Structure 1
Amino acid sequence: MIHHKHKIFLVALALGLCQYLPGQSQVKSAAPHVKNTKTQQNVDAALPLNPAVRTGKLANGFTYYIQKNKEPKDRVVLYLANKVGSILENDEQQGLAHFMEHMSFNGTKHFPKNELVNYLQKSGVRFGADINAYTSFDETVYQLPLPTDKPEILKNGLQIMRDWAQEASLDPEEINKERGVVLEEKRLGKGASERMQRQFLPMILNNSRYASRLPIGKEEVLLNFKPEAIKSYYKDWYRPNLQALIVVGDINVAEIEQMIRAKFSDLKNPLNEKVRTKYSIPLSGKNQFISVTDPEMTATVLQVMIKHREPELKTERDYRASLVRGLFNQMLSDRYTELSRQADPPFIQGGASISGLLGGLNSYGATVVAKPGELEKGFKALWRETRRVEKFGFTATELGRAKQNYLSSMEAALKERDKTPSENYVQEYLQYFLNQTAAPGIVKENELVVRLLPGISLPELNALSAEYIKDSNRDIVLMAPEKDKATLPDQAKVLGWLESVNQEPMEAFKDEVSKLPLLAVIPKAEKIFKVEKDDKLGLQILKLSNGATVLLKKTNFKNNQILFSAYAEGGSSLYTDADFQSANNAAGVVASGGVGNYNATQLDKFLSDKQVGLGPYIGDRSQGLSGSSTSKDLETAFKLIYGYFTEPRKDGDIFKGLIANAKAGLANRADDPGKVFSDTVNAVLGNYSIRRTGPSIEKIDQISLDRSFEIYKERFANASAFTFFFVGSIEEEKILPLIEKYLASLPANGAKTEAKDLNIHIPAGKITKTVYKGTEQKATVRLVFSGPYEYSYENNLKMDALKEVLEIRLLERLREQESGVYSPGASISVTKYPKERFSLTISFGCAPENTDRLIASAVDEINKLKNAGPLQQNIDKFKAEDKRSREVELKTNDFWLGYLVGQYANKEKLSQLDNYDAALNKITVSSLKETANKFIKDDNYIRLVLLPQQGQKAAGK
């Protein structure tokens, strides 16, 4: 439950029309009030480590954490944590901490060259998705999830960790091949954000060592370093007294401990050991300001960041302080959300919070994404709420709701403690090792929250503002489009805005809470008139008196989770192009207005003590809703379902605000190369249908509140067209009366509507489209093969296999052999309705000058599939990976809900899963070769490329 994350600078630019789903914040239920009778214990003593984990330290300083956990069954997660990162590089090594992470996958003592990845893929572990690693300023962490039902795989997994710890090969030939891969990863990160970050980061980091040690490193170093430089880094820093192995999963703890002691005890620390300096960012006391612009920046963003020393989280006193900060952030976030729900919102986006930064710092950060030409208005509105909290504090009702959130969140986590994924535990022990962040376990945390939370007072919360909102160590960063540079405010003007808000008269926040019931009309229960059972799938299929169908699947995958969906055919396909924008946005527009007696803000407050999330949708060919609940809050979920069918709301003020922000978000869209390319791709693949081309002011103007509301009501008027699905910890005696009351009573007319075929699909023929946009020397490539298809369970699995074997070859050739890309990808899409069609997409980024060569290589791999078929070893990898992922999927509520809805939508048998083994056995070299030749045609090939603008000049265009 303890969360501890660092960030450098994050601004989410949500510039599209908001599809707000009420209740998505998952605010939780109440726990009993416990009197704060504190025992005589030392609140400054370190909190104990979770007693479920076995920990130890070898004589060489190597640390281990081992815990048995059966979620998921027959799986284990291993992490090798190193307290080493880019901060430890010398000037000649900048980028080599991250490069070293790459080299750990390119040959070790027991797994030479690429054999490590090859072996793991054969064992059912996917490169990138499962096996992975990351390098930060202060740490490098390797992750490896494995099956445990075969002792040999687990044994080899520990050997891989041992090899990573100190026995990477660092072959000069492999180093030279990897240079291009790392440079391509660096290239992917280039753009407006990276260019601006380079300018403001030294200021934010107070010109500390962190400012000059970005993990991606320097290009000249990556291109030219000698093998000795990386070997020196590896020898100095990859050592047992800076390392820990974390093993959590379905394992025998004593056996794992014995294996770790046998395998890791002989790791050696260097004879002349370098001191592992703990670096930090100094607080200068200065206030700083910087304004940066970029031609590809699409919005004006202003952030105030007031830096502080980051508090530790080791003791009970620390834990209590973290609860105070969490409550503060939640209440502040709710206020900014409420501010944004106006007819004329003062900004596109705005918010503030206390959060971790870097190098021993945290900060109070307030960020605004301003409407074009309205920076002063937006920033003052942002700062006004900060000032309001500082001046008047929060209200007792706000604090009460925030406490309920914490208590019920903890209550829910406690109920799921035996179903908690191993990955969650690993992350806690990782932070415990790296940052000494307390990891006492959920039982202890629940005891702390229940005991400490009631004693946290309103004055204590309100005092946090004075502690964090200060006039020193304050950085102000202004980012904006280049074309607005001449009109941007300077430091004096921004400080003037701050001061004017600080001086203006203002009123305290009024927390308005509705006392009305959620629904205006309480329905009268109707009947379930027919029940069918499918014992093999564990399903009950209910036919209701109004014609609706309900599927119930009870599972024990979670102790207290119920997922649900409603599905009916129709969607926006039933409306003309003139109505499309209203239809496409209808669900979002209506949901943003609230439901029943509550507007969106009132609904948030009503749900603050409940664990319910729910939202309606209207898609191309269907409409419905989806959500989740606990058993305790299931009736509230049913009330919301009934409300979204029968008591939708339209809120003119919120609608105006959504439209205003959507238009403001489009102002500079054409300056973003990624957006321009994405819009082009969608337009080409959608054959330039008005329903597939990018957003525009004209399209936004077509959205009518009245028409959206009318369409929404039409789509949800007939319950007999709907099938409802409930999966999870269902109690029959509880859910059946709710179905009768809230679903069987829904209005219905018995009519069945079919979606229309609008004949929008990827066009046939050979098409080439090149977009010239942007200044960075980087290219983005999409290659699309498409056409008619024969939809079947067997063919779908074969297409999945084709995608996987192709992706393996693209990785081997484009990345490992040609060093031309960082992460090539392939994806398959198949549809049954409105027509049976498929599309195969290959995507990658690369240097512009390598585009034609790499495209030719990718197409060559397609042709090899058609001419010779895939390699048998790659088919074996697909089968191993698919079987392993399927074993885990089948034990999740998410899978079953998606499967059941999908089968109904495609009018396929629910028993199709029984055919898996037979279908998998039919995947062979010859069958995949035949499938590739049958569907992938050279004459249906679309080549889409994004190149920098100077490439257009070079091409003479």
Structure 2
Amino acid sequence: MIFNKTLSVAALALIIAAGSADAQVKKRAPKPSPKSKPVPAALQIAGKALPVDPNVLIGKLPNGLTYYIRHNEQPQNRAELYLVNKAGSILETDAQQGLAHFTEHMAFNGTRDFPKNELVNYLQKSGVKFGADLNAYTSFDETVYQLPLPTDSAAVFEKGFNILANWAGYVTFDATEIDKERGVVLEEERMRGKNAQERLSLQTLPVLLNNSRYASRLPIGKEEILKSFTPETIKGFYSDWYRPDMQAVVAVGDFDVQRVLELIKKNFSGLKNPAAEKPRPEYNVAPSPGTVVKIATDKEFPYTMAQIVVKHPQVIVKTEQGYMQNVRNTLFNYMLNQRLAELQQKPDPAFLYARTTYGPMLGKLDAFSSIVVAKSGGLEQAFKTVVAETERARKFGFTLTEFERAKQAALAGMQNAYYEKNKTNSASYVREYQQNFLTGEAIPGIEFEFNYYVSNINKITLEQMNALAGKFISDQNRVIIVEGPEKDKDQLPDEKTVLSWVNTAGANLTPYVDNVTSKPLMEKAPEAGKIVAEAQDEALGTTLLTLSNGVKVILKPTEFKNDQILINGYSFGGTSLASDNDYMAASLAASIIGSSGISEFNQGQLDKMLAGKTVNVSPYITDYSQGIRASSSLQDLETAMQLIYLYFTSPRKDADIWQGNINQTKSILATRNLVPGSVYQDTLSAVLSNYNFRGMPATVERLNSASLDKAFSFYKDRFADASGFTFVLVGSFNADLIRPMLNTYLGSLPSTNKKETYKNLGIHPAPGQINKTVYKGIDDKANVQLIYSGNYTFNEANNIQMDALEEVLNIKLVERLREQESGIYAPGVKANYTKNPEGRYTVTIAFTCAAANVDKLVAATLDEINKIKQKGAEPGDIQKFVAEEARSTQVQLKQNVSWLGLLLSASQNGEDPDAILTHVKNLDQITVQSTKETANKYLNNTNMAKVILMPEKK
């Protein structure tokens, strides 16, 4: 289960993100906007109310329970059922701290109709995966349960409403189950917390949230209460706040709406509100005059960062005026962050990361938040740079070219959503209705939003946009937080210094200059190649084309999305063909070239040229292959094809991008050893690569050995010969209509017919038993990984057995380590198998626990593995895997991204792609005996690495 344990101030500054755009229009001199105080505490913008989407049925039962029901066929034969409670940790008494979240856990550990773990057991056998599908979360103001179900089984689907009703009013809180779950909840806290970010949050949240109730009601609660509360205490929270007048059922999916309404009435009408009903108190974060500065440090925090948060009263979008203000806010965020992105492309950027945004916060607040992560010793420069950009926007405003690009980006996003209106995933609607219930946020529907957007976005003026910075920026109700490593404590600024930085950052500013170009991406199309061979696969609906330059193209037209095309083109080779001396440069080549623009255009110009287009193209180089990933709308497919062509033929060498990336990587490496998890991961990488330097983290020395010339030369070599490339295209296109485009841009790629492939460098774990323990960290937190590895014969029959073994192991370890031992929150079990460069497998078992429990839990893990090796999997566990795999396969076969992966994998591994059509049928090959044989073959304790992170010895 997920819970919002702490609200990272970094997260507050990263709430809204935008895309990219451009336009060629005349520039106009911007006007300055004045500084102002925060807006008054009027929480709503007056005006005409937004309509309610007519496609959703909203109502209330006599007991006050609200329902939202919508028919939606994406994905087919599936439904999303949610129970939303307006009850979170903010409602806990002092004695109940942590029990809102604990209540969520207990809903899965015994209800009236599902004693103990029967609910999870039933759903798993119905194909619902615990954790991945079946889940819940607890936050400050709400607790939400999610239940995705198949609708092609009436019994399972209808049972889902009974399950929601059991959560809503019939959790039993068995004392024995409570005691067993205490350890699980504490282990969840250990896994998600017990780190530098948690410790810093405990220092900074009281300041950020002005010592409000939000600062003292973190959803995880307090350890001493979790260990000792009585059943009566948690039952008190449940009976007070889990009641129908504070609950909503949200049902969206491929079903009959009236039948669902009947099921809701049948299952939820019997729920009753308490006789002595408590009014739900409303809490907020009171404003504070002036600016509060907080400096916080931690021994294990690797960065120096600053956050500036100007708090404003929350605005809930309910009216047309409020909607348009929200659009303006989004445009503002986009334009300001585009400027910060340009600064990041300099040869020596002033910061490692920066983001500024206006958006939702907590406690009925919105916030204008800036966050900046500095290089070592560079906090002042980083801080002033980010403040200066917001001040530049306040003083001089935005340019008309920036404004037009932002509108194009916004329109492109809205247009995409509109085009996909009948292919939108049900979960997207659920989130909208959930917010409507919790906050009253309007749900006008995509039809209204699209038409309103198109009709009104051009009514927004540049003057309105330029006034926003003055509205958002203020020295009142402002919090500035500086966080850094404890070792740098003496170098961090004091409050007076921080305030002086803010006040002087805007000195000597000049207006922003928008560097745009009117040139086209390509002056003329290349000389086209032609199709020389063609083969159809009627079963899969695919076409294999061979072009005159040797390039192969696999086409799979689909109707899963109305306007989405996914592309991946690859050939073998990768960094395996680089010499040891050139490996560092080779490993950086694709990311550097992919960030350097294309042809004669730098990255900033390229981003602006792609204004309002739905297109994304990036080159990649892995250990054993190189290629291009891309996605686009049908309208922008030619732009995607042009970019693919240019990444082959006209990659751009940008010394500024190279130097900026090298400097930033060195800065990150300088403090990497402060973080226990990073040190642990470095050890794991060393073990899994048998200490081959290619599998280990970069070092400053190795970075110094790399050069842009080497990286650029390696990149050009990898893309000099397209004859070995295979491109897979999946999505909403007509295969016949796009052939000329394929001939023009793929058929014209350079071809030398090298017929090269990768080198097998033999990088994998050494055979035998390996035991490594890393001692790092001040908290009682241990990470354990058991890694089995060896040779493997890659084929469909073996792969199915390995997948089954993975899930059976996961089920058994949840039962043993979580439910029985109460020693972990969730195990991570992953079976990986590859054919290239050679047949190899790894089975990794990972978990987090208390240091004192490591040996006991490792022994319990090995005991469960031994049981499977001796007796095979239990039939019930096999049934769960088969049901889950069958359901997930049905969903995947209706997704473009899944088909892209399937066709790509079949091509790379020389497998029959038609095998996917018999995959579900082949699941009957999994038996008790087959799981026993698979476990004995692959879980060999004499060929296992055990790598453990333990806290530092005291």
Question: After TM superposition, is the score higher than 0.5?
Answer: yes
Q: 1:19 — aligned with what?
A: none
Which of these residues, 619, 627, 632, is aligned with residue 630 of structure 2? 627
Is residue 2:65 matched to residue 1:88?
Answer: no
Q: 2:327 — aligned with what?
A: 323
Q: 2:796 — aligned with what?
A: 793
Q: 1:28 to 1:509 in 2, by over 3 A?
A: closer
Q: Distance in 2 between matches of 1:934 and 1:820?
A: 28
Which of these residues, 115, 120, 125, is aligned with residue 122 of structure 1? 125
Q: 2:8 — aligned with what?
A: 9
How big is each residue's C-alpha offset from its partner over 1:385-412, in whole Å with a ceiling of 9 and x where there is no partner?
A: 1110111010111010000111121111
Q: Tell me the CA shift for residue 656 of structure 1.
A: 0.8
State how many pairs are aligned.
926
Q: 1:37 — aligned with what?
A: none
**TM alignment of 1:99-118, pairs within 5 A:** 99-118=102-121
How big is each residue's C-alpha offset from its partner over 1:180-239, in whole Å with a ceiling of 9 and x where there is no partner?
A: 000011112111000011011101100111111000000010000011000010000000
- If the length of structure 1 is used for normalisation, what is the TM-score? 0.95
**TM alignment of 1:592-611, pairs within 5 A:** 592-611=595-614
**TM alignment of 1:635-674, pairs within 5 A:** 635-674=638-677
Is residue 2:118 matched to residue 1:77?
Answer: no
Q: Distance in 2 between matches of 1:713 and 1:492?
A: 52
**Corresponding letter in the other structure for 1:120:** L
Is residue 2:762 matched to residue 1:759?
Answer: yes
Q: 1:181 — aligned with what?
A: 184
**Corresponding letter in the other structure for 1:812:** E
Q: Distance in 1 between matches of 2:473 and 2:921?
A: 64
Gaps of at least 5 residues in structure 2 are 24-44
Q: Tell me the CA shift for residue 168 of structure 1.
A: 0.4
**Corresponding letter in the other structure for 2:833:** V
Q: Tell me the CA shift for residue 730 of structure 1.
A: 1.1
**Corresponding letter in the other structure for 1:235:** S
Q: Distance in 1 between matches of 2:432 and 2:351?
A: 37
Q: Tell me the CA shift for residue 377 of structure 1.
A: 1.2
Q: 1:26 to 1:209 in 2, by over 3 A?
A: closer
Which of these residues, 281, 286, 293, is aligned with residue 282 of structure 1? 286
Q: 1:806 — aligned with what?
A: 809
Q: 1:292 — aligned with what?
A: 296
Is residue 2:337 matched to residue 1:333?
Answer: yes
Equivalent residues of 2:885, 2:920 under 8 A apart: no
Q: 1:521 to 1:670 in 2, by over 3 A?
A: farther
Q: Tell me the CA shift for residue 669 of structure 1.
A: 0.5
Q: Tell me the CA shift for residue 936 of structure 1.
A: 2.1
SS of 1:564's equivalent in the other structure is strand
Q: 1:520 to 1:656 in 2, by over 3 A?
A: farther
**Corresponding letter in the other structure for 2:90:** I
Q: Tell me the CA shift for residue 10 of structure 1.
A: 4.5
SS of 2:694's equivalent in the other structure is coil
Q: 1:149 — aligned with what?
A: 152
**TM alignment of 1:367-516, pairs within 5 A:** 367-502=371-506, 504-516=507-519
Is residue 2:312 matched to residue 1:308?
Answer: yes
Q: Distance in 2 between matches of 1:163 and 1:697?
A: 57
Is residue 2:198 matched to residue 1:199?
Answer: no
SS of 1:55's equivalent in the other structure is strand
Q: Distance in 1 between matches of 2:894 and 2:271?
A: 39
Moved more, 933-942 or 48-57: 933-942
Which of these residues, 119, 143, 167, is aligned with residue 170 of structure 2? 167
Is residue 2:214 matched to residue 1:210?
Answer: yes
Is residue 2:856 matched to residue 1:853?
Answer: yes
Equivalent residues of 2:21, 2:608 under 8 A apart: no
Equivalent residues of 2:293, 2:481 under 8 A apart: yes
Q: 2:568 — aligned with what?
A: 565
Q: Tell me the CA shift for residue 368 of structure 1.
A: 1.2
Moved more, 768-777 or 446-455: 446-455
Q: Distance in 2 between matches of 1:944 and 1:154?
A: 43
Equivalent residues of 1:28, 1:409 under 8 A apart: no
Which of these residues, 252, 259, 267, is aligned with residue 255 of structure 1? 259
Q: Distance in 1 between matches of 2:563 and 2:46?
A: 33
Q: 2:29 — aligned with what?
A: none
Q: Tell me the CA shift for residue 49 of structure 1.
A: 1.6
**TM alignment of 1:549-948, pairs within 5 A:** 549-948=552-951
Q: 1:914 to 1:363 in 2, by over 3 A?
A: closer
Moved more, 110-119 or 516-525: 516-525
CA RMSD of aligned residues (A): 1.6
**Corresponding letter in the other structure for 1:265:** S
Q: Tell me the CA shift for residue 703 of structure 1.
A: 2.3
SS of 1:732's equivalent in the other structure is coil
Q: Distance in 2 between matches of 1:255 and 1:820?
A: 43
Q: 1:53 — aligned with what?
A: 56
**Corresponding letter in the other structure for 2:770:** I
Q: Tell me the CA shift for residue 835 of structure 1.
A: 1.7
SS of 1:314's equivalent in the other structure is coil
**Corresponding letter in the other structure for 1:79:** Y
Q: Tell me the CA shift for residue 516 of structure 1.
A: 1.7
Q: Distance in 1 between matches of 2:92 and 2:216?
A: 10
Q: Tell me the CA shift for residue 348 of structure 1.
A: 1.0
Equivalent residues of 1:516, 1:597 under 8 A apart: no
Q: 1:44 — aligned with what?
A: 47
Which of these residues, 249, 257, 268, is aligned with residue 245 of structure 1? 249
- If the length of structure 2 is used for normalisation, what is the TM-score? 0.96
SS of 1:506's equivalent in the other structure is coil
Equivalent residues of 2:566, 2:897 under 8 A apart: yes
SS of 1:614's equivalent in the other structure is strand
Q: 1:867 to 1:13 in 2, by over 3 A?
A: farther
**Corresponding letter in the other structure for 1:328:** F
Q: 1:362 to 1:595 in 2, by over 3 A?
A: same
Q: Distance in 1 between matches of 2:485 and 2:442?
A: 43
How big is each residue's C-alpha offset from its partner over 1:859-913, in whole Å with a ceiling of 9 and x where there is no partner?
A: 1111111111110000000000000000000000101111111111111122222
Q: 1:540 — aligned with what?
A: 543
Q: 1:917 to 1:263 in 2, by over 3 A?
A: closer
SS of 1:577's equivalent in the other structure is coil
Q: Distance in 2 between matches of 1:946 and 1:143?
A: 34
Equivalent residues of 1:541, 1:552 under 8 A apart: yes
How big is each residue's C-alpha offset from its partner over 1:482-525, in whole Å with a ceiling of 9 and x where there is no partner?
A: 011112110101111111123x1111000110122213663111
How big is each residue's C-alpha offset from its partner over 1:74-118, in whole Å with a ceiling of 9 and x where there is no partner?
A: 000000000000000000000000000000000001110000000
Equivalent residues of 2:6, 2:218 under 8 A apart: no
Equivalent residues of 2:347, 2:660 under 8 A apart: yes
How big is each residue's C-alpha offset from its partner over 1:809-846, in whole Å with a ceiling of 9 and x where there is no partner?
A: 00011000110000111000101122211110000000
Q: 1:911 to 1:129 in 2, by over 3 A?
A: same
SS of 2:501's equivalent in the other structure is helix
Equivalent residues of 1:397, 1:511 under 8 A apart: yes
SS of 1:417's equivalent in the other structure is coil
SS of 2:67's equivalent in the other structure is strand
Q: Distance in 1 between matches of 2:609 and 2:923?
A: 49
**Corresponding letter in the other structure for 1:390:** R
Equivalent residues of 1:785, 1:937 under 8 A apart: yes
Q: 1:39 — aligned with what?
A: none
SS of 1:362's equivalent in the other structure is strand
Gaps of at least 5 residues in structure 1 are 15-23, 31-41
Q: Distance in 2 between matches of 1:701 and 1:25?
A: 35
**Corresponding letter in the other structure for 2:923:** L
Moved more, 881-890 or 740-749: 740-749
Q: Distance in 2 between matches of 1:287 and 1:27?
A: 34
